[in-house]
Structure 1
Amino acid sequence: MKKLTIGTRGSDLALWQANHIKDELAAIGIDAEIKIIKTQGDKILNLRLDKLEGKGFFTKELEEELLGGTIDLAVHCLKDLPTTHPAGLTIAALPPREEASEYLLILKDCVDVTQKLSLKKGAMVGTSSNRRKAQLLGLRPDLEIEDLRGNVPTRIQKLRDEDYDAILIAKAGVKRLNLDVTDLHVEELETTEFIPAPAQGALAIQIRENDTELFDALQKLHDPETAETVTVERKVLNLFEGGCHMPLGCYCKKENGKFEIWTSKAETADHFPERLFLRAESTEGLAEKIVEKFNKDRKKPAKVFISREIGEHSYFRRALENNDIEIEGRSLIRTFPIVTVLDQFILKHVDWVFFSSRNSVEYFFNLKPVLPKKTKFGVVGRGSEDALRKFGHIADFVGESGDITEVAEDFAKLVAGQQILFPRAQDSLQSIQKSLPADAKVIDLPIYETVIEEDIDRSYADVLIFTSPSNVDAYFANNLLEPGQQVIAIGNSTGKKFDEMGVKYALPYSPDEIGLAEAVFGIEMR
């Protein structure tokens, strides 16, 4: 095969991508050179991306050179490519995807670990992405969001120059350029909490449609699983008829043979984003199903009961009120401390403290523990993580899934041969402890007890959410489900109670307010 010409934009990241593909081609015996092409998006730096005319402002000029025959292939960030192709061009290969998560880079004197995302109140965050702005304000309505343009190193330098308190940037860009950001506080936002742009972290190799010899050669660089998942994300974008300025996040991954997909969509960057999580056996019809869930005319619950007090400004309350859903929040249990003075000696050699609930965090720190500096913290989910932050600590391990078995397996990989303290409720199921490696030393510390309320009034809400097994016991001691009522269990230990009762229930992906909001939004009213 003749020496190929790769077309690329001239930014540091685009050149890294083009050189990466050049090296991959060399590995399969194909020689190539690089040609830099300026795009509209590179030339106009004084406007927000959503103020530029049309679509494809980082790709159009590359595609024109491909069609004109001056280059043989173009390397793109797939998220920048419009979902409809110019006639005569095709995507020949999608290499394995880089991590799609985001980095929130924060000036160290603007860090406040007691706040969500570790950002001080009212901080100014730089981003020109409507998707990022909507999700940031959904999590932290107090933040100020300001436009930020430029390539990755330029954006980071603007932060260092203190034009912003923090900036939001794709992890893939920082990793690919091997940038040193140790002078900044780095908060990694997982894809399940902060949903990336469709196809974020994926590259696309575009060629002329009639270049079949090159198409066949490029199949050695193609990753079918990446193609399978990003195709769903891009189809969702296409069905919403959105460009890359739409406040839309969509992320799909394959886990244990099933497809898990998260979607976040807001009307504008200033609106609260709706979120949905779905799990499916196949990708067939999946994008259409997601888009239908966001149909404004779809029937949603009128009222939701939750077995927990819900704060006035909580994420869950704002998510439901955004859909005009009434909330009935009341705890069906009371908790009491059973330890008033902590034996500090037992903390002396602790490597980890693991919390399986918000209550265990609060009762433990109320005892004023003195822990070794090396101590790490594990939490079952983001709700416990937020409680831990209030006491000035960041979790070193956060369970992502509502499946306690998965959380236990992930945590167990980190703690072989170490001492782990478990402050817990007296009637705790101790699911994490049972999954630890044999050489891990468990220090068991029951510190509070749960008392079930009696004579609980039934709820006539359309959806009932239960946040612990004790709350299930309390409610169903005197009540039955009303016809048509649907149930959500916060995690699978709560779900087991419904399994025993033969009651169907939905399980959110994550056992926190975001996961519960996703589960309510996904409910189909019968």
Structure 2
Amino acid sequence: MDRKLIIGTRGSDLALWQAHFVQDSLAAIGITADLKIIKTQGDRILNLSFDKLEGKGFFTKELEEELLAGTIDLAVHSHKDLPTENPPGLIIAAVSEREDPSELLLIFKDCVDVHQKLSVKYGGIVGTSSNRRKAQLLAYRPDLDIIELRGNVPTRVNKLRGESYDAIMLAKAGVSRLGLDLSEFHVEELSPTELIPAPAQGALAIQIRENDPELFNALQALNHPDVAEALAVERNLLKMFGGGCHLPLGCYCRKDGDTYQVFTSKADDSEEFPDRLFVEAKSTEGLVEKVYSFFAAGRVFPKKVFISRELSDHSYFHKALTKHHIEVEARSLIRTVPVITKLDNYILRNVDWIFFSSKNAVEYFFQLDPLLPKKVKFGVMGSGSEDMLRRKGHFVDYTGAGVDPADVAAEFAKIANGTTVVFPSAENSMRSIQHALSSETKIIDLPIYETILEDDVEGSGAEILVFTSPSNVEAYFVDNLLEPDQKIIAIGLSTGKKLDEMGVKYTLPYSPDETGLAEAVFGTICLSYKC
């Protein structure tokens, strides 16, 4: 291409980083370009929240107008800021590689409380301008006070430094691109499956005029079709809901092997407990319509769901289901008892890691008043064990995500091989993590409790049964209390294997925690009623 291009961009630090990134990428393929800074409505009006601003495209409209006027050749946008439909005459010519779409919770160190989920002190003030973030944060922590926070990334960080807030939320992508030093804060990273991001978060969009085929062809060297395919699912869902920046909708699509995974969170407003759904498919064809139909009006919910553990009325799982008037029958079919009452603290000398595979292991271990080495690290299997460890006043250094213990074991082995690891556990533990560690690793098995099946277990007439451990499955099937047409969810592979022994079909949640179980219940509803 012979002509020099003009790139339109906003003037914030992040927007300029993005524009320079595209400018450098163009230079790498022999195309020169200059930058033109354009101020948008979102830059000018900082005293109003997004839902108080008129129209859509608060950060894009003025750039699009200059494109149509021919004063710039291309505009660089944060893809999540774009309306779902291009103005007539404009197209997205290229999509960048996607930065990690996780969210960061920056917490003033004086406001950190390890006992609380997300580590913000009880009743803490959290700044964000996003209704999507607010709805999801309050679902986890209804005690938080979420207040408005506008401005570019450095401005928002400075507002936290000014102690107007106890914590603020930022997209990890922006922080990474700007290379900000956040060492003065406690930083909690929330994965895109834990707090679901905005559609297209983490990707850049390069927009041009439709009648510029020469530039379109040149920009294909910068385009990432696989990213564009996943983003199309997210943005088409946003389009079907007719939403913009103010809609409390999170959607994250990714490809895992040959399977597309879609995580969705939606509320009607920022104060409402959001619905969440996780679905998988081999193709994106019909995927958006399937997700949309679940959230549309007229859904049919089961009258009752059984889960084989006691739950508080304030638990995530309970609130997610009772929002739709689903009765939750929560009762364990087993009981646990300690097998030791005194711990020889000599065992813990020179220990590098303590790994817990269950909440019960955490509970019974700390009942023994252990004398912990100063630099000991903690590993856990799943967020349930992590939450229990927080209640005991300790941060987790490694959390195994997913339902397959073999995957968790392989990941943990990468950081723990060659160290000394203690495994407080139940008697007759499956030892899934231990098997993956190398021979150079010193393994100390510490059985501290045992599981006993309850007598005279009664069945449940619930449409959906959620089993949370192999022992609970065993107790339920002593007299095979399963009824026709009941749907089964297993919290993990070990629970699933026990159901396999019984010849029972089941569904596995994406993550073995209350959020994942709620997603699995709604996913089962979706499959049952062909949404």
Pick the TM interval, shorter chain.
over 0.9
CA distance in 2, matches of 1:213, 1:372: 65
Give 1:110 shift.
Answer: 0.6
Partner of 1:372: 373
Q: How does 1:246-285 map to 2 (within 5 A)?
A: 246-285=247-286
Query: What is aligned with 1:78?
Result: 79
Q: 1:378-432, CA deviations, whole angstroms, 9 ceiling, x for partnerless residues?
A: 1111111100000111111112212222222222221121111111010221111
Match of 2:518 in 1: 517
Is the partner of 1:413 in helix, strand or coil?
Answer: helix
| Structure 1 residue 298, shift from structure 2 partner | 1.5
Shift of 1:101: 0.4
Aligned to 1:47: 48
Alignment of 1:113-124 (within 5 A): 113-124=114-125
Equivalent residue number for residue 427 of structure 1: 428
- Distance in 2 of aligned mates of 1:263 and 1:406: 24
What is the CA–CA distance in structure 1 between the aligned matches of 2:439 and 2:261, rounded to whole Å?
A: 32
**What pairs with 1:102-113 in structure 2 (closer than 5 Å)?**
102-113=103-114
Q: 1: CA distance between counterparts of 2:301 and 2:165?
A: 40
CA distances 1:209-240 after superposition (whole Å, capped 9, x unpaired): 12111111111111122112111111111111
C-alpha distance in 1, partners of 2:115/2:125? 17
* Most deviating of 356-365 and 373-382: 373-382
1:402 corresponds to = 403
Superposition pairs of residues 176-195 of structure 1, within 5 angstroms: 176-195=177-196
Indicate yes or no: 2:379 matched with 1:383. Answer: no
Task: Tell me the amino acid that sits aligned with residue 306 of structure 1.
Answer: I
Query: How many residue pairs end up in the alignment?
Result: 526
Please tell me whether the aligned partners of residues 458 and 481 of structure 2 are also in contact (alpha carbons under 8 angstroms). Answer: no
* Partner residue, 2:24: 23
Superposed, 1:77-96 pairs within 5 Å as: 77-96=78-97
Deviation string for 1:117-164 (max 9, x for gaps)?
A: 001110011111000000011000001111000100000111110111
Paired letter, 1:180 = D
Q: In structure 2, what is the Cα distance between the partners aligned to 1:226 and 1:413? A: 29
Q: Give me the whole-angstrom Cα distance separating, in 1, the residues matched to 2:406 and 2:471.
A: 19
Unaligned runs of 5+ in 2: none
Rounded to whole Å, the distance in 1 between the matches of 2:131 and 2:291 is 20
For each residue in 1:282-334, what CA deviation from the matched residue of structure 2 results, as whole angstroms up to 9, or x when unmatched?
11111111111112311111100110001121111111111110011111111
Q: SS at the partner of 1:514?
A: helix
Which secondary structure state, in structure 2, belongs to the residue aligned with residue 456 of structure 1? coil
Q: Deviations over 1:458-498 (max 9, x none)?
A: 11011111000000000110133111110000011101111
Moved more, 252-261 or 357-366: 252-261
Structure 1 equivalent of residue 153 of structure 2: 152
Alpha-carbon shift at residue 257 of structure 1 (Å): 2.2
Runs of 4+ in 1 over 6 A off after TM superposition: none
Q: Residue type matched to 1:395 in 2?
A: V
1:322 and 1:427 map into 2 onto residues whose CA distance is 39
Determine the structure 2 residue equivalent to 1:214. Answer: 215
Secondary structure at the aligned position of 2:466 is classed as: strand
Normalising by structure 1, report the TM-score: 0.98
Q: Distance in 2 between matches of 1:268 and 1:50?
A: 11
TM-score, normalised relative to structure 2: 0.97
Is the CA contact (8 Å cut-off) linking 2:138 and 2:144 kept in structure 1? yes
Partner of 2:131: 130
SS of 1:459's equivalent in the other structure is coil
Q: Which residue of 1 aligns with 2:480?
A: 479
- For residue 340 of structure 2, what is the aligned residue in structure 1? 339
Partner of 2:234: 233
Q: Separation in 1 of the partners of 2:336 and 2:489?
A: 23
> Distance between the aligned counterparts of 1:403 and 1:323, measured in 2?
30
Quick one: distance in 1 between partners of 2:148 and 2:377?
A: 36
Among the aligned pairs, what percent are the same residue? 65
Which stretch shows the higher mean deviation, 134-143 or 233-242? 233-242
3-state secondary structure, aligned to 2:416 = coil
| Offset at residue 3 of structure 1 (A) | 1.0
- Using the alignment, how far apart are the partners of 1:396 and 1:323 within structure 2? 36
How far off its partner does 1:92 sit?
0.8
Q: Which runs of 5+ in 1 are unaligned?
A: none
Secondary structure of the equivalent of 1:523?
A: helix
Q: 1:5 is matched by which residue type in structure 2?
A: I
- Cα deviation 1:255-279 (Å, max 9, x = unaligned): 1221111100001000000011112
1:195 Cα deviation from its structure 2 partner: 0.6
> What SS does structure 2 have at the residue aligned with 1:401?
coil
Contact kept? 1:455, 1:478, Cα under 8 Å = no
- For the residue of structure 1 that corresponds to 2:58, the secondary structure is coil
- Cα offset, 1:348, TM superposition: 1.2
Report the AA paired with residue 82 of structure 1.
Answer: P
- CA contact 1:332–1:471 (8 Å) conserved in 2: yes
How many Å separate the matches in 1 of 2:24 and 2:344? 60
